[in-house]
Amino acid sequence: MLWSLETNEKELFLTFDDGPIPQVTPKVLDILDQYEAKATFFCVGENVSKHPNVFAEVKNRGHLVGNHTYNHSNGWKTSTFAYLRQYLIAQSLIDTEWFRPPYGRIKPQQLKAIKKRSMVVMWDVLSGDFDPTITIEQCVQNVVDFVQPGSIVVLHDSLKAEARILGALPIILKQLKGNGYTFNTLRK
């Protein structure tokens, strides 16, 4: 599993989970454009089915896409057969070599099967933007205080995270860009 990337540059790898969502994802894309930042979007297959134009826009703007199962399945609470089915259905829609397990929860048998077809991506920095009990400022600090070159940062382009991500993302990008960081899509 990939937790961070080796790099000699001051570069970060922002990732967004749970979209595409028409009320949030286009706003996130606009903010990324303002800071010349590229990111990787781990998409829920059901959302890709519902919002193909938003999914296409993510790719058209030069971002990478990854598989996040079809229904945002928790691997610990889902049989291996059902989980792999969710993975494959989403894969047929997203067509990517990148996969992130929802909640970061995946059973060893699920991981073994998926690793044969996809790079499984985790993270080393968690923004917490999905948590309604934290502030925008805490979300910013959760990222800015803990990144290092090569960090994979988890953010969300979901309705649940909307207020925090739209408030925090411009601050995060401005501060980190001011510190000399660039923002790129994942790579092997």
pLDDT digits (tens, 9 = 90+) for 1-39: 999 999 999 999 999 999 999 999 999 999 999 999 999
On average, the pLDDT of the chain sits at 97
Q: Is 30 part of the annotated catalytic residue set?
A: no
Would you state the pLDDT for residue 53?
98
Would you state the pLDDT for residue 47?
98
Taking CA atoms, 106 is separated from 31, 56, 79, 96, in Å, by 31, 28, 10, 19
Strand partners, 126: 154
Give me the catalytic one of 17, 18, 129, 157: 17
Give me the catalytic one of 68, 129, 156, 157: 156
Q: Which two tokens stand for residue 179?
A: 């510190």
Q: How confident is the model at residue 188 (pLDDT cuts 50, 70, 90)?
A: confident
Q: Is 17 part of the annotated catalytic residue set?
A: yes
Mean of pLDDT values over 98-108: 97
Q: How many residues can be counted in the chain?
A: 188
Would you state the pLDDT for residue 65?
98
Mean of pLDDT values over 105-130: 97
Q: Which two tokens stand for residue 32?
A: 């990324």
Residue 114 has pLDDT above 90, yes or no: yes
